[in-house]
Amino acid sequence: MSNIMAVLLNGIAQLEYDRDKLLPDHQSVYLNKMDAKMAEGIYLDEQTIRQPDLNQRTRFAAANLAHAISTSDESTAAAMCSYLAIRLPELKQVRIEDGQGEFTIELVFDKAYQKQVAVEFTRLH
């Protein structure tokens, strides 16, 4: 069984998180700080949520992940990916569809990610 969580944008893999690799201490501390900051309140679905639950926090992280990927903010994307993978150990895929600035995000728990394989085409003369 694979312990990989993948983030896909429009069906193309962007990030893979391997849960079998130990998270460095400084990154674990960073995720705990993220949780503490979110506990103070988050802005989600055009409203401020004072004490967000895990579901609201993960939706917030997934939205920030989508934004980070779309703006090539690699460090934020990596942090949000790690947050989702660690806080939701059963999560297998984050599927993001970009409809020209409007994101649709699906968290997939029941279908393991299959690594994508590049296919080379040769030109016939």
- Which pLDDT tens digit goes with each residue over 3-56? 999 999 999 999 999 999 988 899 999 999 999 999 999 998 889 999 999 999
How is residue 110 annotated by DSSP? S
More confident call, 66 vs 123: 66
Q: Is residue 50 part of a domain?
A: yes
- Which pLDDT tens digit goes with each residue over 91-118? 999 999 988 778 899 999 998 887 765 5
Q: Is residue 115 part of a domain?
A: no
Q: Is residue 31 part of a domain?
A: yes
Q: Is residue 16 part of a domain?
A: yes
pLDDT at 1: 52
Q: Is residue 123 part of a domain?
A: no
pLDDT at 123: 72
Closest CA to 104 of 15, 10, 5: 10
pLDDT at 112: 83
pLDDT at 125: 63
Q: Is residue 114 part of a domain?
A: no
User: The whole model's pTM is what?
Assistant: 0.85
Q: Which domain, by its residues, includes 10?
A: 4-108
| Total of domains in the chain | 1
pLDDT at 118: 59
* Strands 93-99 and 102-108, bridge-based pairing: antiparallel
Q: Is residue 122 part of a domain?
A: no
CB atoms within 10 A of CB 107: 17
- Which pLDDT tens digit goes with each residue over 59-77? 999 999 999 999 999 999 9
- The secondary element (H helix, E strand) that includes residue 17 is strand 12-18
Q: Is residue 29 part of a domain?
A: yes
